[in-house]
Chain A
Amino acid sequence: MSLVRVDHVSFGYTANRRILDDVSLDIAQGDTIGLVGESGSGKTTLLRLLLGLARPDSGTITFDGKPLEPGNGAFMREFRRQAQVVFQDPYSSLDPRQTIQSIIAEPLRSLKIAGDHAKMVGNALDAVGLDRDVGTRFPHQFSGGQRQRIAIARAIVPGPRLLLADEAVSALDLTTRIRIVDLLAGLSKTMSLLFVSHDIGVVAALCRRIVILEKGRIVEAGDTAAVLANPQHPYTQRLLASVPRLNLNEVSS
């Protein structure tokens, strides 16, 4: 059964410009999907709709079979617990004036999740490979990669079933990027992952399925290995051609 179903969704920030055009997408329980498209193609906008931060102009989005209703407080609280997000810019995603402990505990507090919050934060820090004692420190004391780990800890602390990663590794240097992709790959064993990227190479390494978005329309979708081995749409072919050294053998293995 699909965890998230996006059904013929269209959306525009203003009436005269469509950003998403008739988008349909299924995220199955436990699936790992790469959402690929050039900058400006509408990837972040789609995530905002998936998170219930904006409403589709037409079409529906369902989570666990129930439509997203930003007005329904009780439903949204349960939904927020289950769907979490990590952003691209590690310098903008952590409040500079909060301690790491209070940053990671925010979903626990705001969603009124029962349990020992300090312990749950400690477990989340363990899971992302940070020392438990960093809780008293502030974001400016950490590198970009460490901040991204903190952001991931905040996302996984309420125990979500769906993790949305919006270019979560794009701003990192190569070695850090590989480590964070490894971390996400590990997490994807226990939750569904929608991994947004304009980097096909990373998607090939991480995602079982791939969805290609061009100017707000899904132009190609399917098994990552199959799509990359035999891209049908010219846009996908162009995207692939722009990747310098993609090892297709590794992809299809």
Chain B
Amino acid sequence: MSSATMTAPADKKSHSLALMAGILLVGLHVAIGLLTLVWLPYDPTAMAGGRLEGPSLLHWLGTDRLGRDLFTQMMIGSRIALIVGVGAVAIGAVIGVTLGLLAAFASKWLDDALAATLDILIAFPTLLIAMLVVAASDTANLWSAIVALGIALSAIVARLTRILAKRVLVMDYITAARTSGSSWPKIVAIHILPNIWPTLSVNFALQFGLAVIAEASLSYLGLGAPPPNASWGRILQEAQGTVYTAPLGAIAPGIALVSLAIGVNLLADGLRDAIDPTRRAR
């Protein structure tokens, strides 16, 4: 380690520690998720041992009530959680940022109308909106859940984008860009997005956690991915009948969910601090 990093201020050090923790947590889930594409310890749909076995060397987290290996299902759950989180946030970000920018640039009455609509949408819980969207599409599968969550999240992203963009639009450097001859699309690309991105990206990380939890809830309610997609929510749902005899089936998905959500937030905070020039030292 160079002397420069040794003498870095304490808060900077704790920032890079947080970033490291974020990379580790997210990296672990990503590595597991990728591994499931090429290798699994057991067939996730077949009986791999006795029913409701406790943890052992053969079955690290034991087996469920159908005798399937719980660790194998948890691994698949990592992959599904990542797909859901990334997919929902990507959809929510594209729709939300577009709508938010439109509102920020819109004439007063259109902006007021959009803002009011967003406020109403946001008053409903994300999960409720997602449930409605899933119910409206006739087949419940992983992709309908992702699209539903993305749409539900887009309202939150749009409202935040609108507020942030309006704050940037009144800055003199926007007027300077106009008198410098920059077109509006160019101003959005080089001045507005870079200046709202740090706040947006941290919000996306929160949304990621929300999406993963909401997907677990959808699955728990039977509205998520159907079997054999072992999402953490489904594992939780299937384990609830036997929670006193085999509590791991309920505990493991909870821990996995929390670790992924925290990891993504630490990662987003850390990346913002590392990339944003206004947060770097002089």
What residues make up the interface of A, taking CB atoms closer than 8 Å to B? 51, 53, 76-77, 80-81, 83-85, 87-89, 92-99, 103, 106-107, 110-111, 138, 140-141, 151, 154
Nearest-CB distance from A101 to chain B (Å)?
13
- Interface-central residue, B176, B177, B178, by most chain A CB under 10 Å: B176
Chain B stretch 266-281: residues in CB contact (< 8 A) with chain A: 276-278, 280
Residues of B within 8 A of A98 (CB): 190-191, 194
Complex: chain B residue closest to A85, CB-CB: B179
What residues make up the interface of B, taking CB atoms closer than 8 Å to A? 171-173, 175-183, 186, 190-191, 194-195, 276-278, 280, 282
B180 touches A111 (CB 8 A): yes
The CA-CA distance from A81 to B282 in the complex, in Å, is 33
The CA-CA distance from A247 to B227 in the complex, in Å, is 88
The CA-CA distance from A103 to B280 in the complex, in Å, is 19
- Interface-central residue, A76, A77, A83, A98, by most chain B CB under 10 Å: A98
Complex: chain A residue closest to B281, CB-CB: A141
The CA-CA distance from A190 to B34 in the complex, in Å, is 65
Residues of A within 8 A of B172 (CB): 87-89, 92-93
B175, B177, B280: the one within 8 Å of A106 (CB): B177
Nearest-CB distance from A233 to chain B (Å)?
31
Residues of B within 8 A of A106 (CB): 176-177, 180, 182
B176 touches A93 (CB 8 A): yes
B173 touches A94 (CB 8 A): yes
Residues of B within 8 A of A141 (CB): 282
Residues of A within 8 A of B191 (CB): 95, 98
A87-B172, A89-B172, A110-B186 as given contacts; A96 in contact with B179, CB under 8 Å: no
14 A-B pairs with CB atoms under 8 Å apart are A53-B178, A53-B179, A80-B180, A85-B175, A85-B179, A87-B175, A95-B194, A97-B195, A103-B173, A106-B177, A106-B182, A107-B181, A138-B280, A140-B277
- Interface-central residue, B171, B179, B191, by most chain A CB under 10 Å: B179
The CA-CA distance from A53 to B186 in the complex, in Å, is 17
A53-B175, A87-B172, A110-B186 as given contacts; A96 in contact with B180, CB under 8 Å: no
A110 touches B176 (CB 8 A): no
The CA-CA distance from A103 to B278 in the complex, in Å, is 15
A151 touches B176 (CB 8 A): yes
Residues of B within 8 A of A80 (CB): 179-181
Residues of A within 8 A of B179 (CB): 51, 53, 80, 83-85
The CA-CA distance from A154 to B177 in the complex, in Å, is 10
The CA-CA distance from A42 to B181 in the complex, in Å, is 24
9 extra interface residue pairs, beta carbon distance < 8 Å, beyond A97-B195, A138-B280: A80-B180, A87-B175, A95-B171, A95-B195, A96-B195, A98-B190, A98-B191, A140-B278, A154-B180
B171, B182, B194, B282: the one within 8 Å of A110 (CB): B182
B171 touches A92 (CB 8 A): yes
Residues of A within 8 A of B183 (CB): 110
